[in-house]
Homo-oligomer: A and B are copies of this chain.
Amino acid sequence: MLIVMGYKAKKSDVDAVVKVVQAMGLRAEPIPGGERTAIGVLGNTGYVDDSLIRDLPGVQEVIHVSKPYKLVSRAFHPQASVVTVGGVRIGEGERPVVTAGPCAVESEEQIIKTALAVKKAGANLLRGGAFKPRTGPHTFQGLREEGLLLLSQAGKEAGLPVVTEVMSPDTVGLVAEHADLLQVGARNMQNFDLLRELGRSGKPVLLKRGMSATIEEFLAAAEYILAEGNPNVILCERGIRTFETATRNTFDLSVIPLIKELSHLPIMADPSHATGKRSLVPPMSKAALVAGAHGILVEVHPEPEKALSDGPQSLTFEGFDRLMEELKPLYAYLGF
């Protein structure tokens, strides 16, 4: 439930409303805006009787929210959010960022070489998987803690903040210690205990859309993180599962402008996982940025043909250099 105060409402009016809400056993979170204050009501498990509230002084309107999210919504928070990751600002009005690196950290040499190469080409963040979710248990599952340390080291050597996936609540602390942006993979988008733990960590989170998640479910998953008090969430469209198998997933770019209407959170796009095909990464990177993405994730590997995972969708260093060159006039067109 959202309580919208009139623009003439006084601070004492807001305080009075908060008290009534708390007396009902619910939480009240005032959101001061430029012109007027709104008060979010949290903690209810169903419809809330508003008869005690709607007639209080200063209350202009009580909006019963039927969506499973509220904190992430534009209605609740009209101003676009910018999330800062290791000093890099991501969101509306900021220069779109490029996150690059291998699918998985495989060795010290591989990740440091890649870090230096993508930094030189102009990347803003370094990505690399340490804990890898794999379909079956008998394949490479990542270097785990060792991979995390190598990634962190590589980021430092190259001067890039690092992004890596975290797969379970009990490793959030460890990953948060070494990474700047904690990624929730598509398979874990509705791993609610993980989301809650990330909410409590306060660290920036990159939340990938689930393979068959609707926009509503995607935003509701982000809501779990914000509801624990962590507003630093960046969404990421990475393709959905459909009948079409010519591409690895179906890159649902229309959700980028749509989510920017519905939510204040930044949104990035991952053309590597969405298409699964090296040759499609450059055109779809550009399309994503023109559709309004606040950044892209691109897989880069020194020798894609030898990669332990996702080789066919990884760019070589040369391919990544070329993409970054091609992005320059696009950034100029976009005004950055």
Please state if B212 and A211 are interface contacts (CB–CB under 8 Å).
Answer: yes
Q: How many copies does the complex hold?
A: 4
Q: How distant is A291 from chain B, measured CB to nearest CB, in Å?
A: 4
CA distance A77 to B241 in the complex (A): 31
Total A residues in contact with B, Cβ cutoff 8 Å = 76
Q: How distant is A285 from chain B, measured CB to nearest CB, in Å?
A: 10
Please state if B191 and A43 are interface contacts (CB–CB under 8 Å).
Answer: no
For A42, the chain B residues whose CB sits under 8 A away are: 138
CB nearest neighbor in B for A251: B254
CB nearest neighbor in B for A132: B192
Please state if B243 and A212 are interface contacts (CB–CB under 8 Å).
Answer: yes
CA distance A332 to B332 in the complex (A): 11
CA distance A212 to B214 in the complex (A): 12
User: Which of A54-62, A217-225, A294-302 forms part of the interface with chain B?
Assistant: A217-225
Please state if A247 and B255 are interface contacts (CB–CB under 8 Å).
Answer: yes
CA distance A290 to B240 in the complex (A): 21
Which 5 interchain pairs have the tightest Cβ spacing?
A68-B136, A212-B212, A168-B193, A187-B190, A287-B291
**10 further interface pairs, Cβ-Cβ under 8 Å (given A44-B138, A168-B168, A253-B287):** A45-B138, A45-B308, A68-B135, A134-B192, A168-B193, A191-B191, A214-B245, A241-B243, A244-B255, A254-B274
- 17 A-B residue pairs with Cβ-Cβ distance under 8 Å, sorted by A, are A45-B140, A46-B308, A68-B139, A135-B190, A216-B246, A240-B243, A241-B243, A242-B243, A243-B243, A246-B255, A247-B255, A254-B280, A256-B283, A261-B279, A286-B290, A290-B330, A332-B333
